[in-house]
């Protein structure tokens, strides 16, 4: 005699409460029942999730700009709240790479600290939207692209609205340029967060050839090391010229609040100075105006604006012990090559099983060959060159139509030199490490 099974309550649409499928990403968790004509219970519609996430990202990146520029403007006479908010909105556009057309000429020198903040918040927006639509750990590139695209569209609408508001009572910004730039920045940044939360990044990394993956990682490490060295050199230069910087800040008759705002504006441009300093260490150098050049072998500048960051500019070409700075890019490549060799020697890594890595039951690989080390080291050069070239491109821009119409390094020169220098340094570091290290992996 079979036991009697009690009837289970059913949900609207004929779905029983215990017949719901199990969420494979979280064992033991039931997937919310599908509502007729709508998303599953507990999940937000994609347009709503994207609009809220993009709006919050815009607000959290705009507020610091508004606070800093309010300090600067309220230190001057005749400042109004509406004017301060509109100026902050213009600065927010510039921070995203949207140039402004002013009476003095184009203004397009983006404060990269604001750019980094906006990209970080958009990355988090991609994470939140992916969670809201139930795409977490789904390994679905389509869902990751869908979430990122929705954030990009919502962010483009906000950027267009900002350009309209700024143009209503101040400098002019192209609506098409604002929409395209905000869409691109919003989509790409959100895609980074979406691919991570959906586990697509792990799938792509597992399918990437080992040598290519090691080369990309080594190039990124070398590029970041060189940018860090540039930041240290720029900070040291500003510190040694601290007296001149303090005099420049004190020359602004804006009171304590205004001087604090000017200091914070200088901090917002600190990443730009770090990239310019890295270009200086590489050799191409940078410009602080038309017909100017600041390189290790030449310093040619004229009258400069009273900007605290410019107090750390070199007075002339390097000589004596200063020539040791020329070895910094090669050392950055060598350190990256050393790390590559150590990581390769330690990696007795698991083999791929059906396109996925089984870390527990993998078998030890055969000893590595020279090509497994030298190919990634050589690939590190182009990767670092692309990274530093893009950084150089976004770090420069005009400050009007006059003498300051050209500021920053030349991107292609930085990319070309970085490619060669980092490749040579990484090859030397990796080869020397293997030659001097005894490891069963070799």
Cβ burial 335-361 (10 Å sphere, 16+ → b, else e): bbbbbbbeebbeeeebeeeeeeeeeee
pLDDT attached to residue 132:
93
Mean pLDDT of 148-175: 92
pLDDT band at 237 (very low <50, low <70, confident <90, very high): confident
CB within 8 Å of 149: residues ≥ 6 apart: 187
pLDDT attached to residue 358:
42
Write out pLDDT tens, residues 42-61.
Answer: 577 999 999 999 999 999 99
Please report, rounded to a whole number, the percentage of residues in the chain having pLDDT higher than 90. 50
pLDDT attached to residue 20:
46
**Exposed, middle or buried: residue 218 (CB in 10 Å: 0-12, 13-18, 19+)?**
buried
Write out pLDDT tens, residues 375-387.
Answer: 999 999 999 999 9
pLDDT band at 319 (very low <50, low <70, confident <90, very high): confident
CB atoms near residue 36 (< 10 Å): 6
pLDDT attached to residue 430:
93
The DSSP code for 27 is T
pLDDT attached to residue 41:
53
pLDDT attached to residue 17:
42
In angstroms, rounded to a whole number, what is the distance separating the alpha carbons of residues 342 and 120? 31
Write out pLDDT tens, residues 68-123.
Answer: 888 877 655 556 777 788 889 999 999 999 999 888 889 999 999 999 999 999 99
Instruction: Choose between 19 and 245: higher pLDDT.
Output: 245
Mean pLDDT of 220-244: 88
pLDDT attached to residue 253:
65
Instruction: Choose between 364 and 113: higher pLDDT.
Output: 113
pLDDT band at 168 (very low <50, low <70, confident <90, very high): confident
In angstroms, rounded to a whole number, what is the distance separating the alpha carbons of residues 220 and 204? 17
In angstroms, rounded to a whole number, what is the distance separating the alpha carbons of residues 304 and 314? 13
pLDDT attached to residue 251:
67
Instruction: Choose between 293 and 305: higher pLDDT.
Output: 293
Instruction: Choose between 175 and 18: higher pLDDT.
Output: 175
Contact 66, 93 (CB under 8 A): no
Residue 186 has pLDDT above 70, yes or no: yes
pLDDT attached to residue 99:
92
pLDDT attached to residue 261:
80
DSSP string computed for 353-391: ETTEE-TTTPPPPPPPPTHHHHHHHHHHHHHHHHHHHHH
pLDDT attached to residue 220:
96
- The 3-state DSSP class for residue 319 equals coil
């Amino acid at each position: 005699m079979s036991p009697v099974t009690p009837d289970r309550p059913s949900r609207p649409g004929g779905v029983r409460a215990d017949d719901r499928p199990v969420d494979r990403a979280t064992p033991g968790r039931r997937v919310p029942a599908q509502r007729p004509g709508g998303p599953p219970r507990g999940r937000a519609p994609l347009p709503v999730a994207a609009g809220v996430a993009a709006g919050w990202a815009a607000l959290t990146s705009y507020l610091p700009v508004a606070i800093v520029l309010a300090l600067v403007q309220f230190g001057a006479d005749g400042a109004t709240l509406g004017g301060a908010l509109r100026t902050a909105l213009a600065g927010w556009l510039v921070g995203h790479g949207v140039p402004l057309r002013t009476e003095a000429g184009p203004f397009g020198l983006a404060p990269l600290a604001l750019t980094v903040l906006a990209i970080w918040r958009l990355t988090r927006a991609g994470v939140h939207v992916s969670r809201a639509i139930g795409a977490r750990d789904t390994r679905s590139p389509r869902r990751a692209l869908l979430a990122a695209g929705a954030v990009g569209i919502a962010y483009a609408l906000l950027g267009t609205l900002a350009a309209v508001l700024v143009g209503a009572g101040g400098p002019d910004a192209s609506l098409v340029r604002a929409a395209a730039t905000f869409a691109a920045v919003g989509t790409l940044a959100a895609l980074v967060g979406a691919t991570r939360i959906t586990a697509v990044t792990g799938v792509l990394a597992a399918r990437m050839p080992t040598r290519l993956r090691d080369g990309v990682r080594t190039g990124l490490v070398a590029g970041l090391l060189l940018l860090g060295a540039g930041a240290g050199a720029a900070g040291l230069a500003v510190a040694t010229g601290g007296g001149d910087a303090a005099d420049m800040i004190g020359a602004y008759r804006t009171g304590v609040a205004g001087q604090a705002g000017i200091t914070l504006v200088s901090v917002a441009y600190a990443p730009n100075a770090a990239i310019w300093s890295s270009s200086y260490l590489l050799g191409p150098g940078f410009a602080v105006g038309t017909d100017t050049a600041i390189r290790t072998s030449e310093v040619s500048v004229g009258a400069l604006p009273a900007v605290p960051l410019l107090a750390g500019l070199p007075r002339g070409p390097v000589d004596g012990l200063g020539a040791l700075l020329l070895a910094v890019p090669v050392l950055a490549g060598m350190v990256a090559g050393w790390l590559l060799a150590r990581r390769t020697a330690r990696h007795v890594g698991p083999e791929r099983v059906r396109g996925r890595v089984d870390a527990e039951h993998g078998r030890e690989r055969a000893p590595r060959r020279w090509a497994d080390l030298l190919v990634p080291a050589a690939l590190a050069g182009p990767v670092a060159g692309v990274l530093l070239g893009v950084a150089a491109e976004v770090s420069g821009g005009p400050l009007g139509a006059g003498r300051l119409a050209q500021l920053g390094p030349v991107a292609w020169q930085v990319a070309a030199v970085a490619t060669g220098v980092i490749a040579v340094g990484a090859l030397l570091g990796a080869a020397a490490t293997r030659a001097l290290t005894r490891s069963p992996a070799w």
